[in-house]
Amino acid sequence: MSKIAVAMANGVEEIEGLTVVDLCRRAGIEVTMVSVSGNLTVHGSHGIDFKADALFEETDWDGFDMLVLPGGKVGTDSLEAHAGLMKILDSYAAAGKMVAAICAAPSVPGHRGILRGRKATCHPGFEKDLLGAEWLAEPVVCDGNLITSRGVGTAIAFALAITEHFCGAAKAREIADAIVYEE
């Protein structure tokens, strides 16, 4: 079974993080919400609190097949400020492990040079942060071991792209049909 970690920081855009968790779990992917805020309770950007599954410091990062970075400007800044998470991000990228980021969060691998020479997308206004990438105005962009997406309105498509990567197109379509998602 595939395993993904969704890094959660206070200020996370709730829909972008939790949609990935929900749809990927429906597909049978093992998802762990990992708080980088030192507390299992994560405070979302719109006043929605939720409980993460694990704390960063207690997580075995070697066991995951993908790292997901949800957006929200404050949440993204907090993710990028977490030195330990940045080491994990760099190691995943260097090893060719999957990395997915949505909204403002593609700026994080962008700042670290991970997007150089790749295709990517992000929330409008963050294009300048995708250093060295070819920006595409697409809801979701998949390029090798990277999946990027634009924001809240593309969160379902983002989660389905992750599902398709791990479970195939038929399973992603099954999940899309079950939630009455129309492209």
Tens-digit pLDDT profile for residues 118-160: 999 999 999 999 999 999 999 999 999 999 999 999 999 999 9
Question: For the domain 3-177, what is the CATH superfamily, name and number?
Answer: Class I glutamine amidotransferase (GATase) domain (3.40.50.880)
Structure tokens at 130: 């995708």
d(CA 179, CA 158): 14
Residue 182's pLDDT is: 87
Percent of the chain with pLDDT over 90: 98
Tens of pLDDT, residue by residue over 36-75, are 999 999 999 999 999 999 999 999 999 999 999 999 999 9
Of the candidates 173, 145, 143, the one whose C-alpha atom is nearest the C-alpha of residue 157 is 173
User: In this model, does residue 181 exceed pLDDT 90?
Assistant: yes
**142 part of the active site:** no
Mean pLDDT in the chain?
97
SS (H, E, C) 86-150: HHHHHHHHHHCCEEEEECCCCHHHHHCCCCCCCEECCCCCCHHHCCCCEECCCCEEEECCEEEEC
Res 89 pLDDT > 80: yes
3 state SS of 151: coil
Domain extents in the chain: 3-177
Nearest to 29 by CA among 164, 146, 169: 164
C-alpha angle 2-75-147 in degrees, rounded to nearest 5: 40
**pLDDT band at residue 1 using 50, 70 and 90 as cut-offs:** confident
Position 34 scores a pLDDT of 98
Phi-psi region of 60 (alpha: psi -120 to 50; beta: other; left: phi over 0): beta
- Which one of 103, 122, 142, 167 is the catalytic residue? 103
Confidence check: pLDDT of 179 > 80: yes
